[in-house]
Amino acid sequence: MAKKENFFKGVKSEMEKTSWPTKEELFKYTVIVVSTVIFFLVFFYALDVGINALKQLLLG
């Protein structure tokens, strides 16, 4: 039982050392991630459409 207690004490100790982002930082990072995902979504969609159009053109 002491091992579990030591484990959770260690977890609590490490969580207190963690630096969490502020609301502003979290919002900024979220916008960056969502923007990047949307960019790659559009990029790969356009690439897929272009490759399919080229395939249709070549294979008729």
| Residue 13 included in any domain | no
Q: What is the pTM of this model?
A: 0.67
| Residue 29 included in any domain | yes
| Residue 58 included in any domain | yes
pLDDT of residue 1 exceeding 80, the answer is no
Residue 23 confidence (pLDDT):
97
pLDDT of residue 52 exceeding 90, the answer is yes
Angstrom CA distances, 57 to 48, 49, 52, 60, stand at 14, 12, 9, 5
Residue 55 confidence (pLDDT):
96
- The residue assigned the tokens 């159009």 is 53
Rounded mean pLDDT of the chain? 95
- Domain around 41: 20-60
From CA 12, how far away is CA 20, in angstroms rounded? 15
How many CB atoms sit inside 10 A of residue 6's CB?
Answer: 10
- Amino acid residing at 50: G
| Residue 42 included in any domain | yes
Summarize the confidence of residues 54-58 as an average pLDDT: 95
| Residue 15 included in any domain | no
Number of domains making up the chain: 1
| Residue 5 included in any domain | no
